[in-house]
Chains A and B, each alone.
Chain A
Amino acid sequence: MFTKINDIKIYYTFDQGVKVKVYGPDSLYLVEVREYLQGEETPRCVESHTISNTVERYFNIFKYDVEFFSDLEIVVYKMDYDYGLVKVFSHRFNDRDKIVEFKLDTNDKEEALLWSKSVDKYVRLHGCRPVVKTKFPEINKRYPTYFERQGLERYKTYRIGRYPKNSNDYKTIEPKHEGFLWFGGWKLFWSYQHPRSWSFLNSQEIVDDILGL
């Protein structure tokens, strides 16, 4: 998605992790991702860093590799040298009427079917337009295919499965030895009940965890 606020252009997406790029007259912008926990009206900040298109030591894109459901909000700040940090943009996750893809990564047909029922529940709750892909054509054909066309941007893609974590873990934990559900960053301490060790979850719990149901 793309928006323009005065002379600042902002590109952002939640698909395959949050990504934000900012183009504007300032050298630096601060991008923050916040999360609204269930039952809380004040969001919690889960990741934040400075980006720049002109200063070499900074990345030019903000990334936060969370792929499960989270009620996230993207915030962009600029620096006003008379007042300090000033918020210039915010957008809270809302996939109503947007294309959302669900990849059900299992070789077990019964499990894929079970997961697809949770996908249906998610679609009803969120009002999104689903693209569902499994290894089983008879399940896939239950869903419309007209959103699958090339060039149609996904607002969000969910990969539902059992994923080992193999990199980027924060040094104080060792999730790669524990078999955590797919997650990103090191802020596991507070983020929407994630990650949980899939070793102890059944199929239903796995899909509900990832979709936040």
Chain B
Amino acid sequence: MSKIFGFYAGSHSASSSLVVDGEILMCLEEERMTRIKAGDAHESFPNLSYLKIVEDTNHSIENSDYRIFVEPLTESYCRYLSNGSYEKLSHHVAHNYGAYFTSGMEGKVLSISYDGGGESSVMRIFLCEDGKMNQIRKMDFSTTGSLSHLWGFTTSSILGYDENMEGIWKMCKDEGKLMGMAPEGEYNERLYKIFKSIIKYDNYNFYPPRTDQKTKFAMDSLFLKGHFATQKQREDVSHNLQLVTEELMLQFFSDLHRDFPEYTKICLSGGLFANVKLNQKINDIPWVQELYVYPPMGDEGLSLGACIWKSVQLGEITKPLKLSNVSFGPKYDEQKVFGILEEYDFIKSDFDPKKIAEDINEGKIIGWFQGGMEYGPRALGNRSILVRPTEYSTHTKLNERLGRYDTMPFAPMVLSDYFDDLFTNPKSKYSTQFMTICYTTKDEWIEKIPAVIQKSDKTARPQIIDEDNNPMLFELMNEYLKVSDIPVLLNTSFNIHGEPIIENPHHAFNHLKNNVVDKLVLGKYVYENK
């Protein structure tokens, strides 16, 4: 029996994970503990997340067998945290092990990681089969460009800079907002050519290198010339960036299929694949049989990847796991909640799914706090806000409550039996448990659930809910179905804009107190303000 700690430290998205005897016990991002979003802390260390794991599991460095740190790393910190004994693991190896060994995929699988750079590479490709991974390509930072750079530096330039010369929007944090704007924009030949002058693709080679500085230069030049002055201009920038991204990546996948036609299952990791619209294009490729996107696809997922890598080495994980959820974060039992609740003064009642379903149907905004916190960027029904999807006005109301931007689409939770009724592509349902792929909505549903559909391209980012992966939510959604005839709920992460997803009951109670939500369902009870 091996106790393995994995850490990602010293860069953005620090995290800690613990795997014992091949079982994932706990994974936690540092931002959830420090309450500073990963994109706002580019040199973070997983001190608090590690201590939380120690507190919740009683496992610590002292009684662990292996301590794995993912590159890039800071040697002095590794020595400090591990008492001097640790192993290093390549950034992209950790990405790929995390992805493949949680994909649940059997047979031949292609695993691809792509991001803005970890250690010396931006991308690696593995051929996988029966629990064996064989690296076939490694694209070096010095010779390879990265589409992630285009997104990161466009994000940080597009709204200009603050008094500290930092982008108003931040890379590794606000790319999703930029992506959300893309369908609203239009093709613009000049913008398209500018992006294509920064990065090109030919036969596995994204070039030229140093796309980070080239993008920054190009975007800052555009900014200074006033090309980002209006929302329409920014939407056009986003649209053309998305277009170039999809075009190059589809060429890349076409080359992969040319050379490895027997590999029709794909798993993806790395920050680029946080782009759910790109993932949709990949999932729509006819030869792709199944797509899986690692739920913590960004660098926050590296610590688990490290633990899995070691577990595979030790023979404690031998084939890809199929996850029923990614609720690997802290849990709070009734006793803990009771202690916290003493500081607040709420009306408390028993949870009645029928009553909450009626509240949702009436337009109430429900905070939903259950079980272990999600690992990765998405709230998947344990730290979520639930709202009816049937009114577009909900969008505005929620934006006001959460301080969000209008262009960011909200996501639907869908009862599993209804998924094929709503969406055109039936593939890759396992990945939709983790809300990592967009789908095109069937026309007849667009007017029924307008609050969770991106109007301009009819896409949504659905999460499948079934009895196994979230029984309590499944029950609530069935009650909502009875009162509304809609098998969908709007789900957004339980946090206000700029704040990481909430971690503990204090955070939830505070948001209730501040009227961010109308009611809070926490465990088996419902709380509301007096």
Assess whether B393 is interfacial by the CB under 8 Å rule.
Answer: no
Determine if A141 is an interface residue (Cβ-Cβ < 8 Å): no
- Does B289 sit at the interface, judged by CB under 8 A? no
A174 to chain B, nearest CB (A): 5
Residue of B nearest to A174 (CB): B75
The answer to whether B74 touches A46, judged by C-beta atoms less than 8 angstroms apart, is no
A79 contacts B221, CB within 8 Å? yes
Minimum distance in angstroms from A72 CB to a CB of chain B: 13
Range class of the A interface residue count: 20 to 34
State A84–B227 Cα separation when bound (angstroms): 13
User: What are the interface flags for B72-84 relative to A under an 8 Å C-beta threshold, 1 for contact and 0 otherwise?
Assistant: 1111100000000
* B217 x A42 contact (CB < 8 A): no
- Decide yes or no whether A81 CB sits under 8 A from chain B: yes
* A49 interface residue per 8 A CB criterion: yes
- Chain A 164-208 interface 0/1 with B at a Cβ cutoff of 8 Å (1 = within): 000000011110010000000001011000000000000000000
Bound: A171/B218 CA distance, A: 27
Do A50 and B209 touch across chains, with their CB atoms under 8 A apart? Answer: no
| Contact partners of B224 in chain A: CB under 8 A | 27-28, 55
Residues in A1-55 with C-beta less than 8 Å from chain B: 26-28, 30, 32, 42, 44-46, 48-50, 55
B488 sits at the interface (CB 8 A): no
Closest chain-B Cβ to A79's Cβ sits at a distance in Å of 4
Cβ contacts B208-230/A at 8 Å (1 or 0 each)? 11101110111011101100000
Question: Are B10 and A171 neighbours in the complex by a CB distance under 8 Å?
Answer: yes
A30 engages B214 (CB within 8 Å): yes
> Contacts A32-B210, A172-B10 hold; do A82 and B193 have CB atoms under 8 A apart?
yes
**Contacts of B140 on A, CB cut-off 8 Å?**
44, 189-190
9 A-B pairs (CB sep. < 8 Å): A32-B210, A50-B213, A79-B222, A83-B193, A85-B217, A171-B43, A172-B71, A172-B73, A190-B142
Which residues in window 53-82 of A have CB below 8 A to B?
Answer: 55, 57, 77, 79, 81-82
**Known contacts A57-B165, A82-B190, A171-B43; A48 and B142 CB within 8 A of each other:** no
Q: A6 to nearest B CB, angstroms?
A: 18
Task: Name the segment of B194-202, B397-405, B443-451 touching the other chain.
Answer: B194-202
Q: Which listed residue, A26, A46, A83, touches B142 by the CB 8 Å rule?
A: A46
Q: Is B469 an interface residue (CB 8 A)?
A: no
What total of chain B residues lie within 8 Å of the partner, measured CB to CB? 38
- CB-based contact A189/B161 at 8 Å: no
Asked whether B135 is an interface residue with its Cβ less than 8 Å from the other chain, the reply is: no
Contact indicator A187/B73 (Cβ below 8 Å): no
Which 6 A-B pairs have CB atoms at the shortest separation, nearest pair first?
A84-B197, A172-B72, A48-B213, A79-B221, A44-B142, A30-B217
**A45-B209, A50-B213, A172-B73 are contacts. A84–B218 as well, Cβ < 8 Å?**
yes
Contacts of B444-500 to chain A: CB distance below 8 A: none
Alpha-carbon distance A42/B142, docked complex (angstroms): 11
User: With the chains together, A49 CA to B220 CA distance in Å?
Assistant: 12
B217/A189 in contact, CB under 8 A: no
B88 to chain A, nearest CB (A): 10
User: What's the least CB distance linking A11 to chain B, in Å?
Assistant: 19
Cross-chain contact A171 with B213 (CB below 8 angstroms): no
A77 vs B216: C-alpha distance when bound (angstroms): 13
The answer to whether B213 touches A32, judged by C-beta atoms less than 8 angstroms apart, is yes
Tell whether, in the assembled complex, residue B120 and residue A85 are in contact, meaning their CB atoms are under 8 Å apart.
no
Q: Mark B116-160, 1 if CB is under 8 A from A, else 0.
A: 000110000000000000000000111100000000000000000
**Are the C-beta atoms of A28 and B73 separated by less than 8 Å?**
no
Question: B221 contacts which of A28, A49, A82 (Cβ < 8 Å)?
Answer: A28
- Asked whether B120 lies within 8 Å of A49 as measured between CB atoms, the reply is no
CB A95 to nearest CB in B, in angstroms, measures 24
Expressed in whole angstroms, the minimum distance between the Cβ of A38 and any Cβ of chain B is: 15
* In the bound complex, CA of A157 to CA of B101 (Å): 52
Residues of B within 8 Å of A177, CB to CB, are 75
Q: Would you call B165 and A84 a contact (CB within 8 A)?
A: no
Contacts A28-B220, A45-B210, A55-B224 known; 12 new A-B pairs at CB < 8 A:
A32-B210, A44-B140, A45-B208, A50-B213, A57-B165, A81-B222, A83-B197, A84-B193, A84-B195, A85-B214, A85-B218, A172-B11
A26 CB, nearest partner CB in chain B, Å: 8
Known A30-B214, A45-B208, A174-B75; judge A187-B142 contact (CB<8 A).
Answer: yes
C-alpha gap A171/B197 in the complex (Å):
31
- For A187, give the chain B residue with the smallest CB separation: B142
Check B74–A172 contact: CB distance below 8 A.
yes
A189 touches B120 (CB 8 A): yes
Residue of B nearest to A172 (CB): B72
Q: Which residues from chain A contact B76 at a C-beta distance below 8 Å?
A: 174
Q: Which residues of B contact A28 (CB under 8 A)?
A: 217, 220-221, 224
- Output the residue of B11, B165, B195, B209 with the most chain A CB within 10 A: B209
Closest CB-CB distance, A52 to chain B, in whole Å?
9
Given contacts A55-B224, A171-B74, A189 and B141 within 8 Å (CB-CB): yes
* Proximity bits, A93-110, B CB within 8 Å = 1, else 0: 000000000000000000
Question: A188 vs B216: C-alpha distance in the bound complex, in angstroms?
Answer: 23
Partner of A50, one of B11, B71, B198, B217: B217
Out of B11, B119, B198, name the residue touching A84 (CB < 8 Å).
Answer: B198
CA distance A98 to B147 in the complex (A): 41
Question: Which of chain A's residues have a CB closer than 8 A to the CB of B142?
Answer: 44-46, 187, 189-190
Nearest B residue to A178, CB-CB? B75
Q: Which of A77, A81, A86, A174 is packed against the most chain B CB atoms within 10 Å?
A: A81
Of all chain A residues, the one with the shortest Cβ separation from B42 is A171
Knowing A79-B221, A172-B73, the reply to whether A85 touches B43 (Cβ < 8 A) is no
CA distance in complex: A102, B218 (Å): 39
Chain B hits for A42, CB < 8 A: 143
**A75 shortest CB reach to chain B, Å:** 10
Residues in chain B near residue A45, CB distance under 8 A: 142, 208-210
Say yes or no: B225 contacts A30, CB within 8 Å.
Answer: no
Least CB distance, A185 to chain B, in whole angstroms: 12
A50 to B218 alpha-carbon distance, docked (Å): 9
Q: Cα distance A190–B140 when bound, in Å?
A: 9
Chain A residues whose CB sits within 8 angstroms of the CB of B194 once the complex forms: 81, 83-85
The residue on A at minimum CB distance from B197 is: A84
CA distance A2 to B61 in the complex (A): 59
Chain B residues with Cβ under 8 A from A174's Cβ?
74-76
Chain A contacts for B222, CB-based, 8 A: 79, 81
